[in-house]
Chains A and B, each alone.
Chain A
């Protein structure tokens, strides 16, 4: 790769991080990594530009193929939930690239987080390849390959490492920047000070939440966000008291706008982390951010195959001698991968019809859950 291309890719990747909600697509196709032979493994990825580039780097040193499939430029976890990444998109890439003539085996390694949207039976029917779910984090791929393509339980777990957190912070900050820029255009120079204050509030709220994620006192990010808001309010009050002369209007403006921004960020923290998902109403009424979906296995339907345990990114399920158990001390994030992968539809919701319902890739979901 030339220096020029590397710089170009870097600029596009920066653009991806800064404007996460307006995704850039990579072209679909088969990418050769190293010197792959017909027996080399095939890893599947969505076509979010930044992901594809990071994967190409992470796979260096392995001889393999990377099959880039259309996910409308969205990361696989989100895309799988909203039908933008599924078995049909993978089959299309397999059939378009003529993969069956390039490799001698019939095995695709899929990202574990695509389990919410991919039906493995349908995949085999449509392209002749068997899919297996690999690690949740691409950083584990080399370890997985070194382990003889055996997935250790911890490789299934989704982490929220620093690199992902700063990435989410930039994405959220860019969205919160839009109203501030709009205000600046409308209000003009006269209110510049106030607008810069709003900008600072946005920045402090969002970045402190994501960057200090695991060091804040509360368990749930939305509550931590309110905690940060309280600290900000204290700082504003102290500043207003010690600064002479005291201006009431200015204090009210600062305090109120800081509160509004903090509240908006708190609500977004409900769904912007991979750990907890709940509805706004539930959080406001209980300060509890626990997922409303809680898997309940209907033992008379369960076939004991353990598919749920193979795809759960939070490690809730354990399978022993054909019996599946749920560990409720671990927290579910309502990705519904277990429901999607359960062929006999044995996984119900402890809370019956009450859940967040973000996942659109499961037909008749309401009937299954009840």
Chain B
């Protein structure tokens, strides 16, 4: 029955993912969303890559943007679809089920002013992450920006060592509460230049653990 209980618990995680993330980061997840939202203006074309249950996508639509929300999990997307069903937001959010690295194939020909990638790059393998950034660059309009919100490995040796230590402590609660193993992103800049992108601004919250990056085309 122990495993049965564990499985039932894990099964229910997607529905409360955002609350758990907020808990794990002592509210940092909610604060980072506010910073992301400050970039959104009415009428903008927004793409949310790895939207999950769509908390940010809904906020962007409420702010007047026209949103495309993509994710690879139909289970997560059905939470989003149920959220917006029958509301005025339904016409402003297009829900697309596809992989992040294949977004340029599925949304071919479309352009976006803002592309959001919040807490998702850390879940990807390096090769898929590099391609996801290229796909995002292909969908970004000339004057558009990409907003990445994620955990980044610190470059400084001492902070990196502390980070290693904290990572191994939080490894288990992280897995138990969110089901995914969110690994902080290493060497993001190395992947940005081949995709024709550069970092134009950076904000850190939650003791520098969560970074919000503004990224533009070179």
Contact = CB atoms under 8 A, between A and B. Distances in A.
Interface in B161-187: 172, 175, 179-181
Interface stretch (A82-90, A313-321, A329-337): A82-90
A264 B180 CA distance: 27
Given A29-B127, A263-B1, A264-B1, A83 B73 contact: yes
B105 A127 contact: yes
Contacts of A175: 2-3, 6
Given A83-B75, A268-B2, A360-B11, A92 B180 contact: no
A47 B183 CA distance: 15
B97 interface: yes
Interface string A21-46: 11001011100000000000000000
Contact of A96 (B4, B76, B128): B128
A363 B125 contact: no
Nearest to A280: B4
A51 interface: no
Interface string B55-84: 000000000000000001111101000000
Nearest to A360: B75
Contacts of B88: none
A339 B75 CA distance: 17
B131 interface: yes
Contacts of A95: 99, 101-102, 105, 131, 135
Interface of B: 1-4, 6-7, 11, 72-76, 78, 97-102, 105-106, 123-128, 130-132, 135, 172, 175, 179-181
A182 to B, nearest CB: 12
B102 A88 contact: yes
Contacts of A270: 4
Contact of B105 (A47, A126, A178, A360): A126
Instruction: Give me the 5 closest cross-chain CB pairs, A-B, nearest first.
Output: A88-B99, A28-B125, A92-B99, A96-B131, A88-B72
A91 B99 contact: yes
A83 B7 CA distance: 14
13 contacts: A21-B3, A22-B175, A70-B124, A70-B128, A88-B99, A91-B105, A92-B101, A95-B99, A122-B97, A126-B98, A127-B105, A272-B3, A361-B75
A198 to B, nearest CB: 13
Given A73-B181, A92-B72, A93-B128, A267 B101 contact: no
Contacts of B132: 92, 96
Interface string A284-320: 0000000000000000000000000000000000000
Which of A70, A88, A122, A272 is the most central at the interface, judged by chain B CB atoms within 10 Å of its CB? A88
Contacts of B125: 25, 27-29, 47, 70
B130 to A, nearest CB: 7
Nearest to B106: A126
A218 to B, nearest CB: 19
Nearest to A363: B74
A72 interface: yes
A84 B72 CA distance: 8
Given A29-B127, A83-B73, A88-B72, A268 B102 contact: no
